[in-house]
Amino acid sequence: MMYKGDYALSLIVLIKKKINETGYTWADLFGAFCAAFVIASAVFVLGNDFQNLAHVHSYSIVLPAIICICITALLSGLSLFVFGNSRVQKGVLLVACLFLCAALVVGYSKDVFFCLGLAFVLVLVIKYAVGLENEGEIQILKRFDDKHSLIVVSVLVAAFTAGVFAMTAAKYATFGHSTFDFGIFACMFENMAETGLPNTTVERGKELSHFAVHFSPFYYVLLPGYMLWRSPLYLLLVQALGIALGAFAVRRICRALQLSPSMATAFAALYLLFPSMSNGCFFDFHENKFLSVLILWSLVFILEENRIGTAVFFLLILTVKEDAFIYVITICIWMFVTKRDRLFAVIGAVASFFWFLFACQMIRVCGGEIMSDRFANYSVEKDAGLFGAVRTCFIDIGYLIKAVFAGAATDRFKELTYSGQKLEFIWWLFVPLLFAPFLRKRSSELVLLIPLLVINLMPEWRYQFNVGYQYTYGTAALLIFSAIMYVKEASPRVRRFLVTSMVCISMVFMISLVWNRAGGYFSEYSENKTKYDMTVEALEMIPEDATVTAYGCMVPHLWQVDVLQTVPKHYGQLVPTEYFVIDKRYETSGNILDMYHCMGNDYDLICDKGYVKIFKVKGSD
């Protein structure tokens, strides 16, 4: 007959035996406690505002202590008696920490410095959880081949496309898009479908080709799809899909560099989770967002030594926008300094520069001028443009350094949004990559940062150094490529730590930027669906051949109207039209008052439904 003391002694002996067999250490016990602490913290964070300490006093410290002790015992028991190692508790710690970080940034979003603190914690946890084990030592990764990789990446691409499309479609449904920069493209594509010309009446206050503003023949690549689904929603869908397809290019780059299928899949996930990829889609529709996929596929063909493929994608990059030649020249310089087909690199660089000159001339032919005012701060001659900026950089390097690291021009922009300062912009882009692009073994590889300098940091236009807009996509593609090359250079025993850290930090940063914005649009539409549906129904009564003046948020929903005048009108003065469309949500704003002033007493209210009022000129049929 055994007494209670004998059972306890037997249990202690058994635990000691298991500790000796498994090599379980005090460090592992502390790791189990950390996992328990993180889980307990997550339990108490959920449903509470962690910034408000009032909820702390409603709990006794005994409860979290009991939770920690129980979970620590459970995880230690599983490690000793079930799995025979501490990997499970390490995995639990990593997943719990990632979940806690995600929950925290949902409650305190868009603060890059808070995200920095969470990134530091994540790196410490991943260092313990993942360690420096070679990925080949993990059995499941040995069985993960190219077929599995392709399937997983395909699922991720589909999920990204569906998710981003749903979020941006919700913004469209809540009349969150405006003339700039969605209404102009909704109207432009409809006109392209009807006439073949990229003309609109809303971009510059008169009928004008969009090519007078930016030379972007790439839009014709997207036109066949629009002919099948003639709706502004098509633009949001093809944009989300176009960005997502870059994940396949990332995967292929990794395989060309002989990284494992699991590593290639992880980098594809990193690309899709990168903070600017989904966040930038909230700002409407832009040709720049296709730069990522085009640049990455050009790099695929460079690594595979396929000249034809490289040339095709170089050309596609150039058709995106007149300033896209910067990316092609950068890639060509990188090819030259890394001794990859130098003759082709020289030809590509020269050809892209001549394309830039051609694009500038085409803008003039279409009735516009290249938008060189983004570099006006680099010269006392405000029309000196890019070449004036080059001159200043050679003569006054101090001014360049000041301009690159200074904040937004506060005299021009009185208020600063998140990511409004250039240093914060650098954090958003480089922390998820662990600053890998700066850590390359060969300093010549830093040439891939040229677009970051020229496109994002040199101009004073604050949107160019903000991860919520379209100017980051080309830069992000090159940064991710550089990070892949850095991981390739690292020893196999640190690769998994690096990639795991990048993926987890990117996820937290992305959630910080996207979650609340997306949730806001979904909840707004859900709560006011009837009013939004009534607004759409009211707008459908306006004939397509009418002349219409509409508040900006109504313009994307009037894409079939031939002659539109948008408010606020940045170019020219308001002129009377057959219809005036008032957005009731902003009825007290100065811009709406300008519309009422322009109408005078010459219009009748013919519809007041949902969020819209429609006026029609008196005496018209």
> Which has the higher per-residue pLDDT, 360 or 415?
360
- Length of the chain, in residues: 621
Task: For residue range 34-70, list pLDDT tens digits in order.
Answer: 888 888 888 777 766 666 666 666 667 777 788 888 8
CA gap 497, 488 in Å, rounded: 13
Flag whether pLDDT at 197 surpasses 80. Answer: yes
Flag whether pLDDT at 135 surpasses 70. Answer: no
Q: How confident is the model at residue 244 (pLDDT cuts 50, 70, 90)?
A: very high
Flag whether pLDDT at 196 surpasses 60. Answer: yes
pLDDT for the residue 7: 56
Beta bridge partners, 579, equal 548, 616
Flag whether pLDDT at 22 surpasses 90. Answer: no
Closest CA to 89 of 102, 98, 78: 78
pLDDT for the residue 419: 43
pTM of this structure: 0.90
pLDDT for the residue 51: 65
Task: For residue range 555-582, list pLDDT tens digits in order.
Answer: 999 999 988 988 887 777 888 889 999 9
- HSE toward the beta carbon, residue 161, CA cutoff 13 A: 19
Task: Find the helix or strand (DSSP H, E) in which 98 lies.
Answer: helix 87-107
Amino acid letter, 374: R
What mean pLDDT do residues 134-138 have? 50
pLDDT for the residue 61: 77
Task: For residue range 254-313, list pLDDT tens digits in order.
Answer: 999 999 999 999 999 999 999 999 998 988 899 999 999 999 999 999 999 999 999 999
Flag whether pLDDT at 507 surpasses 90. Answer: yes
Q: Is the peptide bond before 341 cis (omega within 30 degrees of 0)?
A: no
Task: For residue range 382-402, list pLDDT tens digits in order.
Answer: 665 666 777 777 787 787 777
Flag whether pLDDT at 9 surpasses 70. Answer: no
Flag whether pLDDT at 1 surpasses 50. Answer: no
Amino acid letter, 258: Q
pLDDT for the residue 8: 60
pLDDT for the residue 165: 96
Residues in CB range of 36: below 8 A, 6 or more apart: 67, 68, 69, 70, 71, 72, 75
Q: Is the peptide bond before 568 cis (omega within 30 degrees of 0)?
A: yes
What mean pLDDT do residues 211-216 have? 90
pLDDT for the residue 44: 75
Closest CA to 295 of 263, 255, 327, 320: 327
Closest CA to 42 of 86, 130, 88, 104: 104
What mean pLDDT do residues 375-388 have? 67
pLDDT for the residue 28: 78
pLDDT for the residue 11: 59
Candidate from 21-25, 95-99, 486-490 with smallest mean pLDDT: 21-25
Task: For residue range 454-500, list pLDDT tens digits in order.
Answer: 888 888 777 888 888 889 999 999 999 999 999 998 887 788 899 99
What mean pLDDT do residues 99-109 have? 84
Task: Find the helix or strand (DSSP H, E) in which 136 lies.
Answer: none
Flag whether pLDDT at 523 surpasses 70. Answer: yes
pLDDT for the residue 180: 86
Flag whether pLDDT at 3 surpasses 60. Answer: no
Reading the block at residue 467, the tokens are 């991860």
Task: For residue range 298-336, list pLDDT tens digits in order.
Answer: 999 999 999 999 999 999 999 999 999 999 999 999 999
Chain centroid, CA 162 distance in Å:
15
Q: In whole numbers, what is the pLDDT of the chain averaged over residues?
A: 85
What mean pLDDT do residues 134-142 have? 56
Contact 450, 404 (CB under 8 A): no
Task: For residue range 425-442, list pLDDT tens digits in order.
Answer: 899 999 999 999 998 888
pLDDT for the residue 326: 94
CA gap 79, 36 in Å, rounded: 14
Task: For residue range 163-186, list pLDDT tens digits in order.
Answer: 999 999 999 999 998 888 899 999
- The fraction of the chain above a pLDDT of 90, given in percent, is 47
pLDDT for the residue 301: 96
Domain ranges of the chain: 4-108, 146-370+406-524, 532-617
Closest CA to 429 of 447, 400, 452, 402: 452
pLDDT for the residue 308: 96
Closest CA to 335 of 344, 324, 325, 323: 344
